[in-house]
Amino acid sequence: MTKTRKSLRVIGVPSDLGQGRRGVDMGPSAIRYAGLSEKLEALGYEIKDLGNLSVAQPESRVQGDVKLKYLTQVRAVCDELRSMVAQVMAENAFPIVLGGDHSLAIGSVAGAAEALKGEMGCIWFDAHGDMNTDETTPSGNIHGMPLAASLGYGHDDLTRIGSLFPKLKPERVALVGARSIDPLERELIARSGINVFTMADVDEQGISSIMRRAIEIATNGTSGVHLSVDLDALDPMYAPGVGTPVHGGFTYREGHLAMELLASAGCVTSVDVVEVNPILDSENRTGKMAVELLSSLLGLTVI
């Protein structure tokens, strides 16, 4: 199993093209402002910030298909991100992608999968399924489609980014924290064969048991694991600054324990942290939460 690398590379993706509410384009700045580099350097990492990808603003672009809003622009962003993530991992460094809306994960997953030659598991930490396609979406927002696209479901412009198709195998994917699933999305989740752990499962079995199972799934026969963290996985009490908050999420300690167990397993080889919206936040609490979770993922412990 590949251990967490000591060399970190930060990539900002200030995109809200895939989201229905404005503001997540400022997420990378909010996370940086919360002290990301300083906290990770204190853990002994060498960290280099590669800056932000250039992302068009929605006001300057035509929305296009109402079922795939800003498809051309989202695809361009994801393809550039794919290339950067793959290059970072080829240089034996660990990419930390800061969002931005969750559509960017199409690119981060694609790049990580290329670097690991398709032998990659994935843990998707999210209140939502992100398993819509243009045929099932109630909103047309692509941030509800990245997991489906990574599994090969949906429009070719999203599923065919890069050299691999699909990027993920369903038996190696664990969706953790789900509590808000669209009706047609539920059908695709059932057909796909991915492993889903809802908040009801967490309530019944405990976060420790769920995460150990998720790690087992994502590491079975793989060379590394991509972790995708949507801050709305946490309860809005702890992460209020997200575009699509859903009550009943992870507590502060459950979130940290999940990251601590991943750190202990040493299996995560890339990560994206998304949907931080400073406009909806209070005193940058959600940006700070993102930094704290990344710190736990990368080895911060109480003792």
* 247 assigned binding-site residue: no
DSSP string, 151-183: TT-S-HHHHTSSS-SSS--GGGEEEEEE-B--H
Round to whole Å and give the CA distance between 110 and 158: 10
* 256 assigned binding-site residue: no
Total Cβ atoms within 10 A of residue 221: 9
Q: Are 163 and 86 in contact (CB under 8 A)?
A: no
Q: Are 254 and 150 in contact (CB under 8 A)?
A: no
User: Is residue 222 within a helix (H) or strand (E), and if so which, with residue range?
Assistant: none
* 230 assigned binding-site residue: yes
CA 235 to chain centroid, in Å, comes to 17
CA distances from 5 to 41, 46, 139, 235, 267 (A): 13, 10, 38, 30, 10
* 102 assigned binding-site residue: yes
By annotation, the residues acting in catalysis are: 102, 126, 128, 130, 143, 230, 232, 275
204 CB contacts (<8 Å, ≥6 apart)? none
CA quadruple 99, 60, 139, 285: dihedral sign:
positive
CA distances from 185 to 25, 148, 152, 163, 217 (A): 26, 9, 14, 26, 22
285 CB contacts (<8 Å, ≥6 apart)? 238, 239, 240, 241
Q: Are 202 and 253 in contact (CB under 8 A)?
A: no
Round to whole Å and give the CA distance between 94 and 119: 17
b/e burial code for range 229-249 (CB count within 10 A of at least 16 → b): bbbbbbbbebbbbbbbbbeeb
Binding-site residues from annotation for Mn(2+): 102, 126, 128, 130, 230, 232
